[in-house]
Structure 1
Amino acid sequence: MTEWEKMLAGELYDCGDKELLTQWHKAKNLTRDYNNTDSENLAEKDRILSELLGGRGKNLWITAPFYVDYGNNIYFGNNCEVNMNCTFLDDNKIVIGNNALIAPNVQIYTAFHPTNARERFGEPKPDGSFEFCKTRTAPVIIGDNVWIGGGAIIMPGVTIGDNVVIGAGSVVTKDIPSDVIAYGNPCRIARKND
C-alpha cells in the first residue's frame, strides 16, 4: 500500500513520502498562482482551479487568498462560494455539496496526529533529528445549502447535513444533522432551521 493510499484510508502515513510531497508542492505552487492572479482574470483562475481541485460543479467562486494541502482531494457541488483566507487541509477528501457559503477564515481539517510523541515522530535518528511526523486522516463531508460562518473550524471526520448554518467562530468536533442551526465551542445544535 502506498503512502497516498494509506493517507486516504485513514491509516498512519509518512508525510515526507516523495509522491505526497510532489503533489503538496504542486498544490502550493497552484494556490500561490491563484492567490496572485488579478481578481478580474476569471479565465486564469478557472484554469488553475481545474488543475488544482479534485472536482467541482458550476459557479464556484473562491476569493483569494485560499490555501490547501493537496487540492485534488477537494470536491465542490454547484453554486458554491468560499470567501477569503480559508484553509482546507485536504489530506483526505473534503466534499462540499451544492449551494454552500463558506465565510472568511474558515478552516477545514482532515489531518490529525497521534497524541503520543513517539508515535508521531518515531525514534530519533543518531544525530537527534526526526523524520516527518506521522499523520492520520478522516474525510469531511458537508451537505447541500450549508452556510459556515466566519472563523469556524471543522475537525477531521465531521459530516454536516443539508440546510445547516454553523455559527461564526464555532469548532465543529462532531457530526451535525440536517436542518439545524449550530454554534459554539464545541459546536452544538441551537435550534431547528426551518
Structure 2
Amino acid sequence: MDKNTENMLAGNPYRPGTPELNRFSYLAHRLCRDYNLTTDEDTVEREMIIDRLFPQHDDGIYLQGPIHIDYGRFTKIGKNFYANFNFTILDTCPVTIGDNVMCGPNVSIITAMHPLMYQQRNIRQQADGQFDDVEYGKPVTIGDNCWLASNVTVCPGVTIGNGCVIGAGTGVTKDILDNYIDLGVPGKVIRPYTDHDR
C-alpha cells in the first residue's frame, strides 16, 4: 500500500482520488454490481464475489443484496453474518464486525469523515496540480451477537459492544457497552462551526 492509503487507514488526512484507492474502489464497486445481479440460487457466484470483496471474512456470510461497499478489503467480518436489503459500508478506515451479527434493511456502517470548514472540504487543486479533496476517517467496531434493526446508521469512530440491540432508525454516534439497547436519533442543533474546527 502507498503512503496515502496508509494515512487513510490510520485516520489521517488523505486524498481519495489516488491511483491506488481508485483501483481498490473500482474493483469493489464492480464486485457490488456483479453481486447485485445475482439471486439466492447463485450460491457459487455469490461466494466467489464475497471472497474477493471481503478477503477478511469467516464462514456463513449472507448478504440479501443489493450491497454498496466502498472498498471491502478494509472490512473484517466474523462468522454467521446476515445483512438484509441495501447494506452499505464506507470502509475508509477499518471496519470490524464480530460473530453472529444481524443487520436489517438499509443499515449503513460509515467510517468516512469530511472537514467541517468548506475551504478544506471542497475539491481544489493540490500541490501536485491535481484536483482532489482531502478526507479522513474513524474506524468502527461491532461486537459479537449484535442486532442492528432497519435504517440504522453507525457513525465514524463508534464501538458497539457485544450483545447489543440497535433499534430501527437509530443513528449510533457514541460507543455502546456490552448488552445495551440503543434507540432513537437525538438530532439537535449543537453550535456553529468556527476556526477552532480547522
Using the alignment, how far apart are the partners of 1:61 and 1:47 within structure 2?
Answer: 13
Using the alignment, how far apart are the partners of 1:124 and 1:18 within structure 2?
Answer: 16
Alignment of 1:1-194 (within 5 A): 2-121=3-122, 123=124, 131-186=131-186
Is the Cα–Cα contact under 8 Å of residues 172 and 186 in structure 1 kept in the other structure? no
1:104-139, Cα deviation, whole Å (9 max, x unpaired): 1011100010101111236558xxxx8222110111
**Secondary structure, aligned partner of 1:14:** coil
Unpaired stretches in structure 1, ≥5 consecutive residues: 188-194
Is the Cα–Cα contact under 8 Å of residues 125 and 132 in structure 2 kept in the other structure? no
Note the C-alpha offset of 1:39: 2.5
**Secondary structure, aligned partner of 1:34:** helix
Q: Give the alignment's TM-score, normalised by structure 2.
A: 0.88
Using the alignment, how far apart are the partners of 1:46 and 1:64 within structure 2?
Answer: 13
Using the alignment, how far apart are the partners of 1:156 and 1:109 within structure 2?
Answer: 5
Amino acid in structure 1 at the alignment position of 2:96: V
Amino acid in structure 1 at the alignment position of 2:104: A
Is the Cα–Cα contact under 8 Å of residues 94 and 139 in structure 2 kept in the other structure? yes
Amino acid in structure 2 at the alignment position of 1:111: A
Using the alignment, how far apart are the partners of 1:186 and 1:75 within structure 2?
Answer: 29
Using the alignment, how far apart are the partners of 1:124 and 1:34 within structure 2?
Answer: 36
Using the alignment, how far apart are the partners of 1:12 and 1:54 within structure 2?
Answer: 25
Identity of aligned pairs, percent?
38
Is the Cα–Cα contact under 8 Å of residues 87 and 107 in structure 1 kept in the other structure? yes
**Secondary structure, aligned partner of 1:64:** coil
1:84-110, Cα deviation, whole Å (9 max, x unpaired): 111110111111101100111011100
Q: Alpha carbons of 1:89 and 1:123: their partners in 2 closer, same or farther (altered >3 Å)?
A: closer
Aligned residues: 183
Using the alignment, how far apart are the partners of 2:137 and 2:148 within structure 1?
Answer: 21
Using the alignment, how far apart are the partners of 2:19 and 2:186 within structure 1?
Answer: 36
Q: Give the alignment's TM-score, normalised by structure 1.
A: 0.90
**Secondary structure, aligned partner of 1:177:** coil
Point out the structure with the larger strand share. Answer: 1
**Secondary structure, aligned partner of 2:121:** helix
* Structure 1 vs Structure 2 CA RMSD: 1.6
